[in-house]
Structures are given as structure tokens and as C-alpha cells.
Structure 1
Amino acid sequence: MKRHQYILDKLEKDKYVEVLDLCKALKVSAVTIRKDLKFLEDKGLLFRTHGGASLEDPYINDRHVTEKEKISVEEKSGIAQTAAALIVENDSILIGSGTTVQALAKCIRPIGKLMAITSSLPVVLELIKFKDVDVLQLGGYVRHSSASVVGSYALHILENVSCSKFFLGVDGIDLDYGLTTTNLEEAQLNKKMLASAQKTIVLADSSKFGKKSFARICHLDQIDQIITDKGISPKILTKLEDMGIQVITV
């Protein structure tokens, strides 16, 4: 059927389609489009989402950090280099957990003094190489899958902290639902870090867009900037910029 082929071609190009856009393009009702999407999903050709469909399963499950390190390595490296260039002389920064922010830590070359506060053990191991970097490791229970800490101790420390930037890694970015991660306690800690920073910068490769996981960190209107790779869908890029979010693609 021509409609089905149009939907699949559009997905191949944009990675994500919305029911309302398909209605306008194909001049049919939302009921018809939803039936088309269900048919194509039953065939294993797409995944239905809230208000649309995507090529990949939008739901993210927890994976170990050693597994995630092997995914999108080149993209994460480019994102990390760009993010590192935003750190200025005598800066104070917060760094979350995840493999993209670990890549950031490897790219940091401090100018003057740098204060870095982080929940990530691998980030600490990278930054203690520099004598001009003061590192505050948040305390708490260590999550084995992410090699980072969570819990009330970390939250308490952040009560008395204010930094210029928060570099946040996420598992999923959904335009409606917001930023998510696979662990509820980690999401709570990220919320607290966000509140302790003047500016929140999300580091996420393009595979994270259109994805959703268990625990919401925040809505998109609470972040300032996203650094991603050029694989991001042009449609998603436009929508983010319309929300007032600065997006840097590398």
C-alpha cells in the first residue's frame, strides 16, 4: 500500500513520525493512520509511540556502563570535545554520570583552577590527574551498572552548592515527556544537580532522541543547551530550537 510505503520512507529519513503530520501529508484521518501504524508494528517494521512512531524501540532498559562505552564512540568523543571547550578559567562545574560525560572528563584541560563536583567514579579518576582541579566526589551508594553514586548523602551535599554549569548525561530524550534515565534515585540526584547549576548542558548522541526510560529527570524547558551529533533528525532539531533550547551538533 502506498500509505505504508510513504510512512516507512518518512521514518527512514526522519527516524520519527507524528500522526498529525501523516494525516496532513496523506489526507486521511488519525484513526486511519493509527491503524496503519499498528499494522506496520505488527509486521515488525516500526515501534508505535505516544502520538507517532519510531524506527527503534523507544523504551530504554538499564545496561552496564562497560556495554554502553562501546556504543557511538566517535559521536561521544566529538560531543565531549565540544563540551570541554565550554569550560572557562576558574570555572565550577557539576558532572553527572554516564559514558558521554566520562568522555567529557577525558577531554578536560583545565585553565587556572577548576572545581568539579560529580557523582561518577570514572569521572573522578580522570580529573584527579590534574593538580589544578579540585574534585568533590558525592557520597552515597554505588550503582554497579553506572559506576556512580546515588542516595540521600549526595543530595544533602548539594544543598549547599552552586555551580556555573551542569553537564548531564541521559538515557532518553522525548519531546513531550522530557529527559529520562533508568534509575529513580539517579533521576532524583540529577534533579538536585540541575537545581544547583546556573546552566544545564545535556550531552547526548543522536540515538537518545525519541527514547524514554523509567525515571524522568526533568522536562525540556528546564535545560539550556544540548550537544549532540549530526545524526539528529532535522525535525526534532527544529522543535528543540523552537522551544528555546540551543542545540550544537558535531
Structure 2
Amino acid sequence: MYSRPKDMEFVNVSLPWMPDHYAMVPQLVENQLKTEKEAALRYNTKSPRYLHIASNKTNRWGHQRSYRLQVFSFTGDHLPESQAEEKAMSWARYKVAITKHKDLEQTSSSLYSQNNIWTPAVDFSKYIDDNENIENEDLVAWVTTGFLHIPHAEDIPNTVTVGNGGGVLLRPHNYFDEDPSIHSADGVYFGPGSENSCDKNRMACLAQDTCSPVLEPFTYHGFDGVMKFEDWL
């Protein structure tokens, strides 16, 4: 497998209709990362907009079948590497790190590292330092995601989750010949006027189903019945 980032960069080209004039035009650029250090993307550096894990096999259009790593993360600054205890969390140096698969490199950290953070049981940075070749190898993608949440009054009684989050999507990219959902066996087509048809949409006639539960109408009474702060005094 291969690691292939794609991004756009501006190139100064002459205009076909005005050869004497030039313009900066965005152009697709694709590279191949060859070593573990090249594929270690630090948290404070620009990341390619498309990062692929590709194989030698191609789809019917001749494109390499691959998966795209799409990272959503809003973590803060990392602990300075000059600090001795940083070794216990060296995985946080990278947004994404792609390494050659090894049986002895199973985890990015260890529960036992907390017993001696200055000489941790697992130092992830050593996975990168050997800088092995990652071309045509079994690969592992290590992804760091997260977000910073500072408690505030609006967290009571429930912490709002809108706008908070971190994660990663593993999306097929040229892996299929076309959108695979069109071959879904249980696909249903809704035409205009058929929304209320029991033949097309069973949810439209759910009330007629003998097995469906009978639910009372939903009502909301605010915070009635909830202990008030004055009651604690």
C-alpha cells in the first residue's frame, strides 16, 4: 500500500486567449510519501486536503483504489518536546502518522506509562525515528483527534455538544467504480405523491400496524419537579 496526499497549489500559466498575460491558476498536485518521517504530519503544520492510503489495484477507470483519511480535530498546543514528560505522550505531536506495520508496534501509548512518564513503557516517537520505507508495505495510520472544552454555566444541566467534536472519517476514494449505494438491495424510490402510500412507505401507516406501540402525546413542563438550588439551603 502507498500513502498519497493530494492538494491544490497555484501555478503561474499564460492565458490561451492572451499569451502575453499570465494568471495564477489552481492545479491539482499529487505526491507519494516514501518514508515514515515524510508521512508524520505534525499538529502545527499544514495538512494536505486529501490524504489517501492507496493500493496497487485500480478501479474500472484506471484510478488506484484507496481510502481517504479525513481528520476533524481542534486540539490545542502540544506539550513542548523539551519537557522530559512529553515522551509519555509523544503521539500527540502528530495529527496523522503513517508507519510500516510491525507486530511489536501495537499501541501508541501504554497504561503503564503513567507510572514513570519520564521513561515511558511506550514512546511513540521511536516508531517514526527509524524512518522506515512505507512504499508497497502494510501500513498503519495513527490519528490524533480531540477538542478543548472549558466548563461554563450553559453546561447545566446538560453539556451542549453542538460545535464540539473531533474525529476521523475513513472514506472510499476511487475504491468503487461508482456510488455503491445504488446497488442497495433494500433501496426504495419515492415519487411525487407517494409519501403517504403504505406500499412504498411503511412509516406512513405505522399507526395501522398491530404491533406498533400506542404512545401518549408528548408534553413538556420545563423544570417542574426538579430540585431547585434554594431547596439545598
| TM-score, with length taken from structure 1 | 0.19
| TM-score, with length taken from structure 2 | 0.20
More helix by share: 1
Structure number with higher relative contact order (C-alpha < 8 Å, ≥ 6 residues apart)? 2
Greater Rg over alpha carbons, structure? 2
